[in-house]
Chain A
Amino acid sequence: MTTATMDTLEYAADMADRPRALIMTAAGINCDHELAEAFALAGATPEFIHLTTLMSTPDLIDQFDLVGLPGGFSYGDAIAAGRIAAALVSSSLIDRLRAAIDRGVPMIAPCNGFQIAVQAGLLPGPRAGAGARTEAALLENDCGRFIDRWVRVEYPASRCVWTQGITADDEAMLLPVAHGEGRFYGETDLLKWLWSESCVAVQYQSDDDPNGSVDHIAGICDHSGLVLGLMPHPERYLHWTQHPFWTRIKPRSESTPGLQMFQSAVTHVLKMRAGTQA
């Protein structure tokens, strides 16, 4: 396995008991370093592995406690956003990823990662009665173009381990989006299921939906609650100086909502580990 070094940030890789986070890179993936930073700040040790390496040795996935599918433009988003990477993942990695979910590995898939996860069948994941049919899609934004801005979001009560207990005041309840194909679409049955099973993890506030998603859905989780896919980028909201108007809000000491997500997942891993040991 060859892993790229991350920028110039040094991580305490020697801390052997830190959970290990796999960050899948691929041609055109470009939010890998900030995702690694998020895992590192939350207490995990991130490692990059390229999709080509994973395809030849899918067992590598078995070594990890957390998985991140970063954003970007995998394979140039040729055909549709995430399409080719999703085809490659579903043809050779999906079994190992499913096994990881069974082991209790939390996974996060922001933006292009979400687009890949939905088309590869990781999200919304298996549900009774649906068979192998794809029922969701992330379509071109209703404005017809790429958009980068911060949006106001909500975290409905859900089973998602990533979004449990996010606390922030109104001014901080934001996330950045940057995508051209983020309009969530789900067939009626799926939507009913997502709501009834508490799998809608993130919503745009109704007057701040950047792409026209059905039910203003910004992110969903699978039935295990471990796999979160979302169009916004929590990994771009790790420091208060990333807040879009931090120069006019009071300085804060608590973690940003973006970082809280990663901390929740790492805590979950550590709790599970403690539970197994006990």
Chain B
Amino acid sequence: MTVHRIEVRPSLHAGDPAGQSALEAIHAMPGGQQLRGIATAAVYLIEADLDVKQVEHIGHTLLAHPVSDELVIGASPIRSTSVIEVHPLPGVMDPDADSIEAAIERLLGIEVQVRTGRRYDLDGVDATVGRELASKCLANPLIHDVHIGPAHPESFPIGHAHDMSSNEVPLCDLKDDALLRLSREGHLFLSLDEMHALQDHFRALGREPRDIELETLAQTWSEHCVHKTLKATVDYAGELPGGGIPSASMIEDGTLRIPNLLKCTVAAATHQLMEEGLDQWCLSVFVDNAGIVGFDEDTAVCFKVETHNHPSALEPYGGAATGIGGCIRDVIGTGLAARPIAATDVFCVGSQTMEHIPDGCLHPRRILHRVVEGVRDYGNRMGIPTLDGTVWFDNRYVGNPLVFCGCVGVMPRDLVSGAPRAGDRIIAMGGRTGRDGVHGATFSSAELTDTHADEFSHAVQIGNAITEKKVLDAIMAARDHASGCLFTAITDCGAGGFSSAVGEMGEELGAVVNLEQAPLKYTGLTPTEIWISEAQERMVLAVSADRLEALASICEEHEVEWCDLGEFGTPQRELILRYGGSELGRLSMQFMHEGLPDRVRQASWNPTDVEVPAEVCESDLSQMLHALMSHPNIASKRSIIRQYDHEVQGRTMIKPLVGPDGEGPSDAAVITPVRGSTRGLAIGSGLATGLAADPYDMVLAAIDECVRNLVCVGADPEQIAILDNYCWPGCEDEERMGELVRASAACLHGGLAYRTPFISGKDSLNNQFTTEAGETIRIPPTMLISGFGIVSDVRQCVTMDAKAPDNLLVLVGETTDCIGGSHLLLMSQAAPGSRMLPRTDLKAGPANARVVAGLIAEGLVRSAHDPSEGGVLVAAAEMACAGGLGVALDPQAVQGNLDSLSVACFAETPSRYLLEVTESNLKHIIDRLGETPCSVIGRFTADPVMTAGDRLDLQIETLQQAWLTGMECS
């Protein structure tokens, strides 16, 4: 067969925006300015026996548009200084190629193989320089071939058949050092204790394990899948605030023994709240792929937030896209399938202007740019609005950025749980299995080093959103089938692939799996690779044999591939793995799921001394406010938000950007999950990484911020559920473990105080990067709190944009002079105020939330906003800018034991709210607030100027400009 090459380039009048974007990206890189111009063309390589007429026909009817494109069969002549082409490496997902192959088959009835690529004609740089620039800006050599000149291979590479037998691995007689070597070199990433447990198990069986069995156990026991650190027994030495952890006990010398950290803290909060009456509302917590709560009488909503950090460090576009894709699949795989209705994203990256980037790391600018594109392309194609998120900048994220992806789903209330029955078929639906993504679960549980890019390139993947969208459509049709739901259980193939999905679904029953049944992307995969591949866009369902025909017809209509992998239920509750009839592995489900040895981890906490500044000076309010507004953590994220379709599905009632010009940063988004109903769901988050010096304070502040964000748009604080996402800089030593204990204790205390049950969570505990020189860069301990809350009627919602001149600005809550971890301190080391971290007041915080929510429900609040990063002045400026008004402030009126004006203006004390109210309502509101500290701190003005007596005088437009461009210029 021949490979035909077709080039399509935009005709002159069509312009070349893609080329323009590429040019801008290269110009932003060091050494990129010598590039004078760039022209792009799409390249299609088609392998098939076609004559010239057929190739031209495909070109003209499908690949090129008669008005806007020019078509060249073969390669057009090189008229620029050099030509560079970027093509996906063999085996890397090429979503467009998949769609084109299917289209050619439908239109012409010819089976073809397609690969797509992109040609760049570069002016001003030679091929060597061009290739280097392209490798940095336009391609990622991990997944792309960066080719000099037009690429036109004679044939596509094909896989080679592989030895399909399963090999025994000598384990029973290994000494400790050999066990550890096997763990590391076999990419099992198990500890010595765990290797001993495996050894004991197989010694008792009287045989050596086979490779597929070891891989299965390593996946099942990975940190990623089983959260063994958070579930470990932890001995904690050190202070714990707020009543400690009730289910822990004191052992010798005052050490606290916590039998299962997660259970005693995060889960304990939820379970206590359920005992106290939230059991009717919390429908499924911690057990499924997402946590589920009631929405209205008939429907439930679920929420899951995942991280995809290590893949995003190596290939940010694919990492982020498959991150959101995996999280969406989690929601589809919750209960008997939820419909995804919203997505969220939070990124933590290095400064965009960072100069010295360690070897093996991508530049933070490129990482952020590409993760945004990854979420955009996947979320938009899935038709799920991405509507809440933020970005946090800190150079400690340089080697290990954090990419949080969340997804919210809605489902009928009677479908919140499912379980396979013995005899049900194991059905896989969706994408084919390939070698991509092998070892993702164990990879995510290891730390990154500068050689990881080479060693784990196969763990890096590109997503194919359309495959997942087709699967979603088919599953919704199967769920809502006229004869009732066609499946008894469903889960997604995430980390660990079939191994985890079937292993978890079959935990109680056992399962027999015939691996040769799985459709493959290419030949040459070993059975073990098929079993543990984390290839994207696959779901596993349990389906009774008599419902298969109905499912098959839905799959055919939706162009979804499916296969029957085997059966649930074995006499001995075993996992039996076969290939072509011969048995490759047999494991006891009980050992897989309960054989992991308990661990005892030591943890300690030694608070660092709070420094006392040598000298202090008050900040110039105008300068400080201007600087804060353009600080990248605070500045507008509109350039990101506008790239996401945040309104698809037509449910978005409070959008991420609000106000008459659509520039105001909404505290949270509100959607209507049930069409035809005005009942709403607010979606928001809290992140307080500035307080990482004490994770206890950090997590409480994050919970408080999440609640405030939701309350500010109109959510009922009595009906908010939250999620935890730990991202830790490692947990191998006592100090890191101590930080983990403090964060977890804060989840317990915060969850109970705010009456916000945790319904789901996730941890990623090895976020550090070791450079070539051996230096370890650890991220700050990071905890994202995501939350959603019920809005009884969306028509009662408020937004943060100031509404009318002469309305008053009321600050609710007390301000303290603790400025530790604040942006004020970041900008001015000599700022006045205590360096202590602000501690959330667990009485005032929930009380303030309730009273503010009451005022909003009564219709007394015109706009509401939470002062967080940058404090009261920044929040007031955001409100004024968003509404196109000015504001005259009286910072002296800020309540609290304060003797500094800059502290009053910029302290980031939690639990405070800024409310815009009409003067006529003021008295009533103050009555309502009762004992709650509050004061009128300003008045909105028609004149677009921000003033504070003679201490501040700034044009709103100046502030707006600083705020709008801060992140782009950072």
Q: Which residues of A contact B (CB under 8 A)?
A: 2, 4-10, 25, 27-28, 30-31, 33-34, 37, 50, 52-53, 55, 71-73, 75-80, 83-84, 87-88, 91, 119, 133-137, 139-150, 176, 178, 185, 187, 233, 235-236, 238-239, 241-242, 244-245, 247-248
Give every chain B residue within 8 A of A7 (Cβ-Cβ): 339, 410, 674-675
Say whether B650 contacts A27, CB under 8 Å: no
For the complex of A and B, list the 8 residue pairs with the smallest distance between their C-beta atoms, beginning with the closest: A30-B383, A34-B650, A144-B17, A78-B99, A9-B675, A78-B96, A76-B466, A5-B480
Q: Indicate whether B382 reaches chain A with its CB closer than 8 angstroms.
A: yes
Q: Which residues of B contact A (CB under 8 A)?
A: 8, 10, 13-15, 17-18, 20-21, 42, 61-63, 65-68, 95-100, 102-103, 106-107, 298-299, 339, 376, 380-383, 410, 412, 464-466, 469-470, 473, 476-477, 480, 553-554, 556-559, 641-650, 652-655, 658-660, 662, 674-676, 678, 794-795, 797-799, 801, 803, 863, 883
Q: Which residue of B lies closest to A27 (CB)?
A: B470
User: In the assembly, what is the distance between CA of A142 and CA of B650, in Å?
Assistant: 26
Give every chain A residue within 8 A of B557 (Cβ-Cβ): 2, 50, 52-53
CB-contact partner of A244 in B380, B383, B469, B655, under 8 A: B655
Task: Take A79-B62, A187-B67 as given contacts and tell me if A27 and B559 are in contact as well, using a CB distance cutoff of 8 Å.
Answer: yes
Say whether B68 contacts A185, CB under 8 Å: yes
Task: Take A84-B62, A244-B658 as given contacts and tell me if A148 and B13 are in contact as well, using a CB distance cutoff of 8 Å.
Answer: no
Say whether B17 contacts A134, CB under 8 Å: no
Give every chain B residue within 8 A of A73 (Cβ-Cβ): 380-381, 383, 465-466, 469
CB-contact partner of A245 in B20, B63, B652, B659, under 8 A: B659
Say whether A30 contacts B382, CB under 8 Å: yes
Say whether A119 contacts B65, CB under 8 Å: yes
Q: Which residue of A lies closest to B800 (CB)?
A: A247
User: In the assembly, what is the distance between CA of A72 and CA of B380, in Å?
Assistant: 8
Q: Which residue of A lies closest to B372 (CB)?
A: A145
Say whether B676 contacts A142, CB under 8 Å: no
User: In the assembly, what is the distance between CA of A91 and CA of B234, in Å?
Assistant: 66
User: In the assembly, what is the distance between CA of A84 and CA of B553, in Å?
Assistant: 23
Starting from the known contacts A8-B299, A8-B675, A87-B107, 19 additional A-B residue pairs (CB-CB under 8 Å) come to A4-B477, A7-B410, A9-B675, A27-B466, A27-B470, A28-B381, A31-B648, A34-B650, A52-B557, A84-B99, A88-B103, A134-B65, A134-B66, A148-B647, A187-B67, A236-B647, A241-B795, A247-B797, A248-B803
Give every chain A residue within 8 A of B658 (Cβ-Cβ): 244-245, 247
Give every chain A residue within 8 A of B558 (Cβ-Cβ): 27, 50, 52
Give every chain A residue within 8 A of B480 (Cβ-Cβ): 4-5
Give every chain B residue within 8 A of A133 (Cβ-Cβ): 66
Give every chain A residue within 8 A of B68 (Cβ-Cβ): 137, 139, 185
Q: Which residue of A lies closest to B66 (CB)?
A: A134
Q: Which residue of A lies closest to B106 (CB)?
A: A88
B614: min CB distance to chain A, Å: 48
Give every chain A residue within 8 A of B655 (Cβ-Cβ): 244
Say whether A79 contacts B412, CB under 8 Å: no
User: In the assembly, what is the distance between CA of A181 and CA of B73, in Å?
Assistant: 25
Say whether A8 contacts B412, CB under 8 Å: yes
Give every chain A residue within 8 A of B381 (Cβ-Cβ): 28, 30, 73, 76-77
User: In the assembly, what is the distance between CA of A87 and CA of B97, in Å?
Assistant: 16
Q: Which residue of B lies closest to A80 (CB)?
A: B65
CB-contact partner of B62 in A2, A87, A235, under 8 A: A87
Give every chain A residue within 8 A of B18 (Cβ-Cβ): 140, 144
Give every chain B residue within 8 A of A79 (Cβ-Cβ): 8, 42, 62-63, 96, 99-100
Say whether A238 contacts B465, CB under 8 Å: no
Task: Take A30-B469, A50-B557 as given contacts and tell me if A178 and B65 are in contact as well, using a CB distance cutoff of 8 Å.
Answer: no
Can you list 29 A-B contacts (CB < 8 A)?
Answer: A2-B477, A2-B554, A4-B480, A5-B477, A25-B473, A27-B469, A27-B558, A30-B382, A30-B649, A33-B649, A50-B558, A73-B380, A75-B99, A79-B63, A80-B65, A88-B107, A140-B14, A144-B20, A145-B21, A178-B380, A178-B647, A185-B13, A233-B647, A241-B678, A241-B794, A244-B658, A245-B658, A245-B659, A245-B801
Task: Take A139-B68, A176-B647, A245-B660 as given contacts and tell me if A87 and B61 are in contact as well, using a CB distance cutoff of 8 Å.
Answer: yes
Give every chain A residue within 8 A of B376 (Cβ-Cβ): 146
Say whether A72 contacts B383, CB under 8 Å: yes
Give every chain B residue within 8 A of A34 (Cβ-Cβ): 648-650
Q: Which residue of B lies closest to A176 (CB)?
A: B647
Say whether A149 contacts B63, CB under 8 Å: no
Give every chain B residue within 8 A of A149 (Cβ-Cβ): 642, 662
Give every chain B residue within 8 A of A53 (Cβ-Cβ): 557
Task: Take A144-B18, A144-B21, A178-B645 as given contacts and tell me if A78 and B477 are in contact as well, using a CB distance cutoff of 8 Å.
Answer: no
User: In the assembly, what is the distance between CA of A161 and CA of B158, in Å?
Assistant: 55
Say whether B17 contacts A143, CB under 8 Å: yes
Give every chain B residue within 8 A of A145 (Cβ-Cβ): 17, 21, 643
Say whether B17 contacts A91, CB under 8 Å: no
User: In the assembly, what is the distance between CA of A78 and CA of B318, in Å?
Assistant: 17
User: In the assembly, what is the distance between CA of A141 and CA of B14, in Å?
Assistant: 10
User: In the assembly, what is the distance between CA of A74 and CA of B363, in Å?
Assistant: 34
Q: Which residue of A lies closest to B381 (CB)?
A: A73
Q: Which residue of A lies closest to B19 (CB)?
A: A144
